[in-house]
């Protein structure tokens, strides 16, 4: 609910459990007055104190009043160069060379429904949403800033976006254009970030804010394996089920930055948006720039409530899933079974082993196109390798479909090998600086997706492939970070736009697939989880969570990912052991329990499995289908912390609280282990639940708990299905 008090220039956003408020003061500076648990109303600007701070300067309108300073005020979109020395939201260079931005409130608009962003991902929806737009202006710079707020009341979600318009007759250069600025009048908060590396992504790290600036970001051209564009601020002591926390998520798949500053007077400012590294965007007269959307959730009841609200909002209002409401098939991917060494008959053999087990989707991975016999050649030549696949996909796909399976394909559209026809014909189509040696990653160069002609060529080739046979699934991979970022299509003064234009180009190509192949399911991937962000989820409703398929490492990866992203978005597969990433051996049952908590599949040669293993796999597939709605649409509860506890447990609970699936994985065992009682969450305390043929009251299971069996051997797993009587 949005309440606009036009007389007092007071704007209040209410969600189910939270309130967000802003006010334009007597100088028309837009102040941030409150964001926290829902309150009845009122003007919260009384909380702001005005005191003489000797080295905090005063704007010209304040005259000689030393108690009014932008350096001490909580602002909704912070200024630059006019006396506020904390993190700025916007930095510009005007035609006179100055870098000053002084924004003042000039008006507002309110509308039903959700705003949209041209060329950028954004949450969507109809009547559940309301939109508020606040207009700010720097009259001296002839610059207008439009602040967009979307309110999804039921999910406590507030989205923010920014549009910057040059209203003058001379160019303006943008050096920073944040998507969100949050000012808190307290500094005693913890910052949680989700960090890691390739094959170990999104591990939570928590630390108290220290004086000064701290944060995370990426300059790799993608959101990256190393840091994720989602952070949490919280009160000390906040846990899963209690305490106050704020989540901030950026819907962007390129360079980002999230910074929190604990100021000299014990305030906290969070600024999040495009990373200013090598960012310089020129706005011609009357031209606008739109910053990516950010999504905020405040939870007065700990991390678990925050996560469930994000999960519900993402599932319903961000994912454009062609199979929404349908049961997705379990897939088998041939990569770990064959790598580049396969032909049509070998692929059919893998499918023949999988089909009787209930696996419904066969995915052909790398090596099917061009001269692709290794990762040194062929990338960029998107035509079927007729030596491996005589007759092309037109011949192969019907053979797979005859087994009762659908067919999917791996692609990597953004990259090219130097040993390819595409590169030989268009060497200037890659990112690279003339006269400098190329920086390679995985023997690949990066195509310049800021250029329309490059995207047109790639799309034309892939459209022909997708039109040649009945292909229902695409895995879109991206296997290196961006370097040598320079475009032959842009003049010198606009090279600072390449990183951002590249991301817009990726989004443009993905949108073409949505337009022309509306029934095609796309899964994102970037060396696993290197581009696992909400921006990509708008185009690819599931993302390969990590190249690391070891079940025990995946417990940590999927735990961290779940703080913001729902399980249905996490590509998770069972692979062979010893695991190729770390050599660990885990039971097949445990690998299945971990993988079925996401978008389920297999990456192994099923033809080499024993009869006993095939029976286990067949049961796993059947269980996944039986529990599908619980896993995909249920509320997710973290029941332990794999970074601290000797076991990992989680639960999927139906939104009517009548069903639950509880999963537990133990760690390394020792002799005479301790007894473990697991306290469940999310149940209805007034209902009774059947667990293994025994009836228990819901409140008993949550307060007293359920005893776990004693483990025998390392990395054992247990699944419990609960149904209300």
- Residues annotated as catalytic are 533, 613
Among residues 618, 674, 602, 619, the alpha carbon closest in space to that of 645 is found at 674
Task: For residue 55, count other CB atoms closer than 10 A to its CB.
Answer: 8
**704-721: buried (b, 16+ CB within 10 Å) or exposed (e) per residue?**
eebebeebeeebbbbebb
User: ω into residue 578 within 30 of 0, thus cis?
Assistant: yes
Residue 73 and residue 59 in contact, taking contact as beta carbons nearer than 8 Å: no
Cα–Cα distance, 196 to 205 (Å, whole number):
10
Cα–Cα distance, 548 to 663 (Å, whole number):
20
416: Cβ contacts below 8 Å, ≥ 6 apart: 379, 380, 422, 423, 429, 430, 444, 445, 446, 447
Cα–Cα distance, 204 to 190 (Å, whole number):
12
Tell me whether residue 426 is exposed, middle or buried, using C-beta atoms within 10 angstroms of its C-beta: 0 to 12, 13 to 18, 19 or more.
Answer: middle
Residue 85 and residue 71 in contact, taking contact as beta carbons nearer than 8 Å: yes
Cα–Cα distance, 37 to 311 (Å, whole number):
20
CA distances from 286 to 21, 91, 168, 171, 319 (A): 31, 18, 7, 9, 33
Radius of gyration of the chain measured on its C-alpha atoms: 27
For helices 392-401 and 344-354, angle between their N-to-C axes, nearest 10 degrees: 20
Q: State the sign of the Cα–Cα–Cα–Cα dihedral 484, 486, 492, 495.
A: negative
Cα–Cα distance, 690 to 417 (Å, whole number):
57
Residues in the chain: 725
User: Tokens at residue 119, please?
Assistant: 């060329």
DSSP code of residue 497? G
**Is residue 262 within a helix (H) or strand (E), and if so which, with residue range?**
strand 256-262
- What phi, psi does 603 have (nearest 5°)? -130, 80
Look at the block and give the residue holding tokens 């989700």: 194
Cα–Cα distance, 700 to 124 (Å, whole number):
40
């Amino acid at each position: 609910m949005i309440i606009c008090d036009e007389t007092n220039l007071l704007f209040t956003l209410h969600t189910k459990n939270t309130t967000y408020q802003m006010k334009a003061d007597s100088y028309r500076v837009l102040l941030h007055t409150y964001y926290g648990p829902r309150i009845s109303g009122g003007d919260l600007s009384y909380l702001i104190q005005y005191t003489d701070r000797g080295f905090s300067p005063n704007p010209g309108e304040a005259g000689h009043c030393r108690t009014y300073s932008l350096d001490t005020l909580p602002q909704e979109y912070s200024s630059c160069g006019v006396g506020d020395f904390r993190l700025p939201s916007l930095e510009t260079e005007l035609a006179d060379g100055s870098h000053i931005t002084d924004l003042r409130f000039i008006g507002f608009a309110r509308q039903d429904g959700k705003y949209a962003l041209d060329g950028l991902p954004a949450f969507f929806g109809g009547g559940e949403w309301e939109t508020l737009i606040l207009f700010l202006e720097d009259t001296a710079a002839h610059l207008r800033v439009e602040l967009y707020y979307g309110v999804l009341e039921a999910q406590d979600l507030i989205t923010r976006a920014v549009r910057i318009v040059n209203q003058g007759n001379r160019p303006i250069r943008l050096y920073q254009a944040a998507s969100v600025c949050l000012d808190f009048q307290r500094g005693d908060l913890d910052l949680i970030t989700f960090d890691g590396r390739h094959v170990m992504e999104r591990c939570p790290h928590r630390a108290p804010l220290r004086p000064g600036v701290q944060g995370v970001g990426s300059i790799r051209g993608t959101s990256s394996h190393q840091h994720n564009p989602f952070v949490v601020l919280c009160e000390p002591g906040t846990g899963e089920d209690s305490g106050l926390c704020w989540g901030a998520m950026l819907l962007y798949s390129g360079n980002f930055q999230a910074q929190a500053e604990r100021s000299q007077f014990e305030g906290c400012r969070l600024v999040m948006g495009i990373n200013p590294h090598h960012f310089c965007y020129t706005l011609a007269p009357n031209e606008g720039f739109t910053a990516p959307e950010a999504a905020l959730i405040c939870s007065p009841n700990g991390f678990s409530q925050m996560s469930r609200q994000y999960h519900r909002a993402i599932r319903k209002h961000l994912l454009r899933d062609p199979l929404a409401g349908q049961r997705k098939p379990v897939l088998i991917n041939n990569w770990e079974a064959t790598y580049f060494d396969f032909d049509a008959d070998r692929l059919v053999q893998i499918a023949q082993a999988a089909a009787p087990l209930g696996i419904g989707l066969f995915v052909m991975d790398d090596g099917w196109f061009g001269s692709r016999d290794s990762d040194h050649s062929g990338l960029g030549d998107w035509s079927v390798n007729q030596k491996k696949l005589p007759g092309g996909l037109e011949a192969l796909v019907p053979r797979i479909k005859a087994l009762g399976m659908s067919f999917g394909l791996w692609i990597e559209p953004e990259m090219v090998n130097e040993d390819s026809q595409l590169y030989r014909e268009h060497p200037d189509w890659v990112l690279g600086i003339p006269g400098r040696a190329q920086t390679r990653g995985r023997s690949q160069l990066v195509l310049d997706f800021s250029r329309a002609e490059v995207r047109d060529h790639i799309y034309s080739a892939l459209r022909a492939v997708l039109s040649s046979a009945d292909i229902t699934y695409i895995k879109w991979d991206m296997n290196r970070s961006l370097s040598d970022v320079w475009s032959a299509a842009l003049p010198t003064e606009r090279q600072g736009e390449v990183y951002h234009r590249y991301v817009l180009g990726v989004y443009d190509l993905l949108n073409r697939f949505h337009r022309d192949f509306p029934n095609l399911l796309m899964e994102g991937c970037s060396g696993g989880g290197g581009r696992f962000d909400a921006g990509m989820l708008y185009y690819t409703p599931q993302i390969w969570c990590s190249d690391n398929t070891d079940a025990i490492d995946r417990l940590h990866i999927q735990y961290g990912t779940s703080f913001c992203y729902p399980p249905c978005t996490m590509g998770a597969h069972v692979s062979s052991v010893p695991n190729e990433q770390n050599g660990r051996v885990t039971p097949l049952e445990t690998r299945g329990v971990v993988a079925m908590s996401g978008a389920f599949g297999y990456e192994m040669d099923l033809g080499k499995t024993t009869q006993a293993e095939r029976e286990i796999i067949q049961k796993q597939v059947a269980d996944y289908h039986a529990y599908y709605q619980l896993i995909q649409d249920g509320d997710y509860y973290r029941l332990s912390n794999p970074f601290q506890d000797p076991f990992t447990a989680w639960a999927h609970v139906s939104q009517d609280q009548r069903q639950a699936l509880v999963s537990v994985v133990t760690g390394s065992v020792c002799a005479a282990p301790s007894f473990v009682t697991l306290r469940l969450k999310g149940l209805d305390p007034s209902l009774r639940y059947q667990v293994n043929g025994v009836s228990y009251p819901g409140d008993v299971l949550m307060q007293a708990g359920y005893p776990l069996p004693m483990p025998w051997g390392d990395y054992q797993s247990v699944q419990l299905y609960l149904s209300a009587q």
